[in-house]
Chain A
Amino acid sequence: AQKVTQAQTEISVVEKEDVTLDCVYETRDTTYYLFWYKQPPSGELVFLIRRNSFDEQNEISGRYSWNFQKSTSSFNFTITASQVVDSAVYFCALSTTYQAGTALIFGKGTTLSVSS
């Protein structure tokens, strides 16, 4: 069975703090993709990153960084020097079929509140 667990329901930080959002996934497939999406109050899911199961290199994009560890089935997301505009719900998602455009399996999301 495929599953994504985001154990942190809500996180509150003060601006400029670093924050890490945890994501743990389960799958028996050897080929899979992991994603992070941001959902601001407007409701639209905004794509942040996609990683495949064969690439364990960590990635940094500005203030965002992602730590993918197959050994612990985790794909954690860190925001450095958080800003109020980072306030949103963040979803981790898993996709396991390579040849077909199959669906994403989402975690329940982590609500991040950044105060000034």
Chain B
Amino acid sequence: DTGVSQDPRHKITKRGQNVTFRCDPISEHNRLYWYRQTLGQGPEFLTYFQNEAQLEKSRLLSDRFSAERPKGSFSTLEIQRTEQGDSAMYLCASSGGQGARMNTEAFFGQGTRLTVV
């Protein structure tokens, strides 16, 4: 395991369809993040897990979005009833560390590029 992996790398879907993305973090990392990046912008935080607990959600995460990390390992991000505005790169990141070094750097995957047509 050399890094964060995301699947699929690209997804084209019709408006109104549901899509699900998967993220496999670095194996020893207990924290996992989802971000969304649109063209010309920096990544924007969506949600954060510590182990299997979802501890933080951005207001960007509408009711159509749901994320899970059932066993504290991989995570899925589902978007229901996709809209054209959901077209973006969805990035997953993981980080680890204990105690005073809890706020360590996050390592990112290559992202899933979603196009809603």
Chain B, residue nearest A45 (CB): B108
Q: For the complex, what is the distance from the CA of A107 to the CA of B37, rounded to whole Å?
A: 12
Interface size on B, residues (CB 8 A): 29
Most buried by A among B33, B35, B42, B105: B42
Binds A, one of B11-19, B44-52, B63-71, B73-81: B44-52
> Interface majority SS on B: helix, strand, loop or mixed?
strand
Interface size on A, residues (CB 8 A): 27
Question: Provided the pairs A98-B103, A99-B102, A101-B102 are in contact, do residues A106 and B44 lie with their beta carbons within 8 angstroms?
Answer: yes
Contacts of B95 in A (CB 8 A): 101
Name the one of A33, A45, A91, A107 contacting B103, with C-beta atoms under 8 angstroms: A33
Q: For the complex, what is the distance from the CA of A50 to the CA of B55, rounded to whole Å?
A: 23
Contacts of A107 in B (CB 8 A): 42
Q: For the complex, what is the distance from the CA of A97 to the CA of B109, rounded to whole Å?
A: 23
Q: For the complex, what is the distance from the CA of A43 to the CA of B113, rounded to whole Å?
A: 10
Question: Provided the pairs A102-B48, A103-B33 are in contact, do residues A97 and B103 lie with their beta carbons within 8 angstroms?
Answer: yes
5 A-B pairs within 8 Å (CB atoms) are namely: A47-B106, A98-B102, A101-B95, A101-B103, A104-B33
Interface residues of B (CB under 8 A from A): 31, 33, 35, 40-45, 48, 50, 55-56, 58, 89, 91, 93, 95, 102-111, 113
